[in-house]
Amino acid sequence: MVKRVLREAARHAAGDLNELARDCGIDIVLRLRTPLPERSVIGLARLKAELRSEADSLLAQLARHLRAGAQ
């Protein structure tokens, strides 16, 4: 489930990232900042939402870094 959510976030950001990377091939490795909470603590839907939010944040950070490097 974690891999599925992270892959979907990467697919969603791929268009912008490919455009920013231009001729450079890039591989994306997402390393989460916080450990996953136990499923008994939060529900599955909330866990997925938090994962997606963190992945989107990391991919946006990468996009900002690529934009800064292009200037």
* Extents of the domains making up the chain: 2-70
Distances (CA, A) of 70 to 9, 23, 24, 58, 61: 23, 12, 12, 19, 14
Task: Please give the full DSSP string across 6-56, using - where no structure is assigned.
Answer: HHHHHHHHHHHHHHHHTTS--------SSPPPPTTTS-HHHHHHHHHHHHH
For residue 71, what pLDDT is reported? 65
For residue 60, what pLDDT is reported? 95
Closest Cα partner for 32 from 11, 5, 71, 70? 5
pLDDT in single tens digits along all 71 residues of the chain: 889 999 999 999 988 888 888 777 778 888 877 788 777 788 889 889 989 999 999 999 999 988 887 66
